[in-house]
Structure 1
Amino acid sequence: MSLDVVDLRTFYTGPLGAVARRLLGRAIRARWSNVTSLAVLGVGYATPYLDLFSGEAERVIAVMPAAQGVVNWPSGGLSAAALCDLDMMPLADASVDRVLLVHALEIGESPREILSEMWRILTPGGRLILVAPNRRGLWARMDTTPFGFGQPFSRGQLTTVLREALFSPVHWAEALYVPPIPRRTFLRSAATWERVGATLALPFAGVHMIEATKTLYRPVAIRQTRRVGATQMRPVLVPAPRLTRGEGMASLAPVHTASLD
Structure 2
Amino acid sequence: MNSDIVDLRSFYASLIGRLAERAIAVALAEVWANLPNERLVGLGYALPWLDRFGYDAERVFAFMPGTQGAVSWPPGGPSTTAMVFDEELPLPDSAIDRILLVHLLEHSENPRETLKEIWRVLAPGGRVVIVVPNRRGVWARFEHTPFGTGRPFSRAQLTELLRETNFTPSSWSEALCFPPSKRRWVMRFHHLLERTGRRFWPIFAGVVIVEAQKRLYQGIPVTQRASRRVFVPVLSPQGAAGAAARQGMVSSEWRVANSE
Q: Does TM-score exceed 0.5, indicating one fold?
A: yes
Higher helix share: 2
Fraction of identical pairs, as percent = 49
Residue type of the partner of 2:165?
A
- With normalisation by structure 2, the TM-score equals 0.82
Cα distance change on mapping 1:220 and 1:184 into 2, 3 Å: closer
Displacement after TM superposition at 1:49 (Å): 0.7
Task: Please give the secondary structure, in 2, of the residue aligned with 1:41.
Answer: strand
CA distance in 1, matches of 2:65, 2:170: 27
Find the counterpart in structure 2 of residue 168 from structure 1: 168
Do residues 129 (structure 1) and 132 (structure 2) align?
no
CA distance in 2, matches of 1:83, 1:50: 17
Task: Please give the secondary structure, in 1, of the residue aligned with 2:174.
Answer: strand
CA deviation string 1:139-187 (max 9, x = no partner): 1000000010011111111111111110000011111001001122221
Displacement after TM superposition at 1:27 (Å): 1.8
CA distance in 2, matches of 1:34, 1:183: 37
Cα distance change on mapping 1:62 and 1:192 into 2, 3 Å: same
**Is the 1:139–1:148 Cα contact (8 Å) retained in structure 2?**
yes
Do residues 89 (structure 1) and 89 (structure 2) align?
yes
**Is the 2:31–2:210 Cα contact (8 Å) retained in structure 1?**
no
Task: Please give the secondary structure, in 1, of the residue aligned with 2:40.
Answer: strand
Aligned ranges 1:114-193 → 2 under 5 Å = 114-193=114-193
CA distance in 1, matches of 2:37, 2:88: 26
Find the counterpart in structure 2 of residue 49 from structure 1: 49
Task: Please give the secondary structure, in 1, of the residue aligned with 2:90.
Answer: coil
CA deviation string 1:30-89 (max 9, x = no partner): 332533210111000001110113431101111000111001111110111110100100
**Is the 2:31–2:172 Cα contact (8 Å) retained in structure 1?**
no
Structure 1 vs Structure 2 CA RMSD = 1.5
Task: Please give the secondary structure, in 2, of the residue aligned with 1:51.
Answer: helix
CA distance in 1, matches of 2:43, 2:66: 12
Task: Please give the secondary structure, in 2, of the residue aligned with 1:69.
Answer: coil
CA deviation string 1:103-134 (max 9, x = no partner): 00000110111111111111111111100001
**Is the 2:39–2:96 Cα contact (8 Å) retained in structure 1?**
yes
Q: Which has the higher contact order (CA 8 A, sep 6+)?
A: 2
CA distance in 2, matches of 1:162, 1:59: 26
Find the counterpart in structure 2 of residue 31 from structure 1: 31
CA distance in 2, matches of 1:22, 1:61: 21
Gaps of 5+ in 2: 222-260
Task: Please give the secondary structure, in 1, of the residue aligned with 2:204.
Answer: coil
**Is the 1:29–1:52 Cα contact (8 Å) retained in structure 2?**
no
Task: Please give the secondary structure, in 2, of the residue aligned with 1:109.
Answer: coil
Task: Please give the secondary structure, in 2, of the residue aligned with 1:82.
Answer: strand
Larger radius of gyration: 1
**Is the 1:35–1:53 Cα contact (8 Å) retained in structure 2?**
no
- With normalisation by structure 1, the TM-score equals 0.81
CA distance in 2, matches of 1:198, 1:123: 33
Find the counterpart in structure 2 of residue 108 from structure 1: 108
**Is the 1:53–1:60 Cα contact (8 Å) retained in structure 2?**
no
CA distance in 1, matches of 2:3, 2:80: 21
CA distance in 2, matches of 1:87, 1:220: 16
Displacement after TM superposition at 1:8 (Å): 0.4
CA distance in 2, matches of 1:109, 1:125: 26
Task: Please give the secondary structure, in 2, of the residue aligned with 1:62.
Answer: strand
Runs of 4+ in 1 over 6 A off after TM superposition: none
